[in-house]
A and B are shown apart, each in its own frame.
Chain A
Amino acid sequence: MTDIDYKIVVGLEIHVQLCTRTKMFCGCELAFAQTPNSRVCPVCLGLPGALPVMNKQAVEFAILTAAALSCKIAGLTKWDRKSYYYPDLPKNYQISQYDLPIGSNGFIEIPLADEKTKKVRIRRVHLEEDAGKNIHTAENFSQVDLNRAGTPLLEIVTEPDINSDEEVRLLAVELQRIVRFLGVSEADMQKGHMRFEPNVNLVIKKDNAEYKTPITEIKNLNSFKALEKSVAFEAQRQLDEFLESGTCLQSGNKQTFGWDDIREVTVLQREKEEAHDYRYFPDPDLVPVVVNEKWLAEIKTKLCELPLKMQNRFVSEYGLSDYDSAVLTADRTTAEFFDSSVKAGGDAKRLCNLITQTGLKIANEKGCKVSELGISPQKLAELAEMVEAGQISATASVTIFEKMIQSKSSPAQIAESLNLLQKSDAGELEEIVDEVIAANPKAVEDIRSGDKKSKKAHGFLMGQVMQKTKGAANPQVVAKILNSKLDKGI
C-alpha cells in the first residue's frame, strides 16, 4: 500500500428562511398554511403586470446577520434576476443578488469538541426569494404549490475552510444558534428553515505529490445528521474513486450528488451537458439599496453577544462546565435570564442547576421559555442565595421555584409559608443532637458497632433530629455534627 494521506475540504452553502411576517417582495403572510396555493398574490404568482416591492424587515435581518458574522456590509447593494425554468418558480427567474451581496468577507467561529474553537471564513451573505414546492407523489403528474414562493431566504456561503464531517455539523449547529439568537429565523430543521449544500473534495498526498479530487455538491439534506453522514460518505467515495481512476479536479467537472437518506449514500444526479447559464442581470423593477452609516448603526444596536462568546464567558467567568454553558446558551432568552440572575447576585452554579434541572423542564412542559415562567432574575437570584446560605435545602428550592411561577411573593416568603426554612445554626442544632444521642443509647451503640445495624441506626438518629426540628434542620449540618460527636465517642 503506497503512502497516502488526505485532507477533507468542505465549503458550505446554507439557506436560512427569515422569520418576517410577510414574503420578500409582497405582503402575503408567511404563516404555515394548510391549504395549498392559499398564500399567493399576483406578485408571487408572477402574474402579468405584477411588480416586487422590498420587505424592509427582511433587508434589516440580512444586514444584522451579516454584521453578526463580521462581514463587510455593502454600502450599495442591488437585485439581480437569476433565470432558469422550473414549475415552482412562477416568473422563471429568481430575484437574488449576484455581484453586490449585502455582506462579504466575514467569519463564523465554531466550538470544536475539545474546547477549542475554529474560525471559518464567510465568503458572502445575500438575500433572495424562495421558490414554491413541486410535489411528486402522484404517479403520472407533479403538483405545484406556490405558498412558499417568495419567502425571504438568506444565503450564506463559506470558504472551503471546513475539514471534517464533524466540523460541518458543528458549523451548522452553531449557525442555527446564531440566527436564533439574533431573532432572524426560527431555524427549525423540521420545517425546512435551514437547508445545506456542502461542496466537498479531497486534497490527497500520494508519493510526495499532491492531488485534488473533483468537487461534489451534495443536495437533499434535511437534518444535521444527514449533513454529517453525507460528507463522511462522500469523502470516502471520492478517496475510493481516486485510488481507482486517479481523476482530478478540473475546471468544469464539478458534479452534483443527491443524498439518499434511507440507504445513506450519495447518488449522482442526472449528468448535465452544460452548466446552468443563469444570465444574471440587474432587476429593472427594483431600485438599489443604499446602506448609510446611520441606518447601519441603528441595525447594529440590535446585535447581541453571540452565543459562543456567551458560552465561553460562562465557563471562564462563572466557572460552569462547557456542557452546562452550552445548555444555557442554546437559547438567547434562557442565556440572558441566567446571566441577569447571576448579575443580580445569585451564585452561578446554583442558578445553573435551578435553570437546567428544574426551570427548563417546567418550561418545556408548559411550552414556553424559562424567562417566560413569571420568575424575575432578581427573585431567582434570591432563591439561589438562600440555598447557598443553607437557609433551604436544594430539594426545597425546587418546590419554591414551582410556587414562584404562580406567586408574586419572594422566595423567602414562600419558604416560610411552606415551612421549608432550614435551621443551619450549628449551636442550636448541636443541642438537639446531644438530646437525641442521650435519649437513644442503643442506637448509638449500634452505630459504633459498625455492623449492618449501623446504617439504619444512623438514619434513625437523623430522623429523630429532624422530628424535633419539625423537618427544618439542615441535614448536612446535622450529619456533620452527629458524626463528629459519634466519632469523639461521647
Chain B
Amino acid sequence: MGQKKIDIEQVRQVAKLSRLALSEAEIAQFATQLSAILEYVEKLNQLDTADVEPLAHCLPINNCFREDIVKQSLGTEKTLANAPQRDEQFFKVPKILEEPGGF
C-alpha cells in the first residue's frame, strides 16, 4: 500500500487551521481520501516547470481602481440583520480571552 501522503496528525493540524471540529471518524476518513487525491496530483511533477511563470490571473488587465468617493453604507440594522447573536448594536461572541489566532 505504501506510506500515506497525509497522516492522521497532519489531518488534525489542517483541521485546526481550517477551524473544523472533525470527529475522529472524519479525520480517519479524510486521511484516506486526501491521501488518494494528493497521490493523484503528484502527476504534476511529471512536468518540468522550472522556467514557467505561475499564472494566478487569466486577465489582461491591471490597475483596476475606484475613486475615493463615499458610497452609502448598509446601516447598523441591515448589517446586523443576519447576525446569529447580537448585543444591541454589536455582534456578540463568547468572551475572547487571548490573542488573534488564539490556538
Contact = CB atoms under 8 A, between A and B. Distances in A.
A6 interface: no
B24 interface: no
A143 B63 contact: no
B71 interface: yes
B1 interface: no
Contact of A289 (B19, B62, B89, B94): B62
Interface stretch (B30-38, B40-48, B75-83): B75-83
Interface in A132-175: 134-136, 138-146
Contacts of B88: 36
B64 interface: yes
Contacts of A287: 57, 59, 61-64
A143 B94 contact: no
Interface stretch (A40-48, A440-448, A461-469): A40-48
B66 A54 contact: yes
Contacts of B57: 282, 284, 287-288
B52 interface: no
Contacts of B92: 141-144
A289 B63 contact: yes
A35 B76 contact: yes
A26 B67 CA distance: 10
Interface in A210-241: none
Contacts of B71: 22, 26-28, 41
Contacts of B70: 21-22, 27-29
A379 interface: no
A36 B91 CA distance: 10
B71, B89, B90, B99: which has the most chain A beta carbons within 10 Å? B90
A55 to B, nearest CB: 6
A290 B64 CA distance: 10
Interface residues of B, number: 38
A20 B94 CA distance: 34
Contact of B89 (A37, A87, A136): A37
B93 A144 contact: yes
Interface in A273-287: 276-277, 279, 282, 284, 286-287
Contacts of B62: 287-290
Contact of B73 (A28, A58, A84, A288): A28
A85 B16 CA distance: 11
A444 to B, nearest CB: 75
Contact of A21 (B17, B68, B79): B68
Contact of B75 (A27, A38, A87, A92): A38
Given A37-B80, A142-B93, A144-B90, A85 B19 contact: yes
A39 interface: yes
Given A27-B71, A144-B93, A37 B66 contact: no
Contact of A135 (B74, B76, B90): B90
A309 interface: no
A270 interface: yes
A7 interface: no
Given A142-B94, A144-B91, A269-B99, A40 B66 contact: no
A84 B76 contact: no
Contacts of A17: none
B93 A87 contact: yes
Given A36-B76, A134-B96, A277-B17, A59 B65 contact: yes
Contact of A279 (B17, B69, B73, B80): B17
A290 B100 contact: no
A217 B34 CA distance: 37
A141 B94 contact: yes
A89 B101 CA distance: 11
B58 to A, nearest CB: 10
A56 interface: yes
Given A136-B95, A269-B98, A27 B89 contact: no
Given A21-B70, A282-B57, A287-B64, 5 more contacts: A45-B79, A53-B65, A55-B66, A134-B96, A141-B93
Interface of A: 20-22, 26-29, 35-42, 45, 53-59, 84-87, 89, 92, 134-136, 138-146, 256, 269-270, 272, 276-277, 279, 282, 284, 286-290
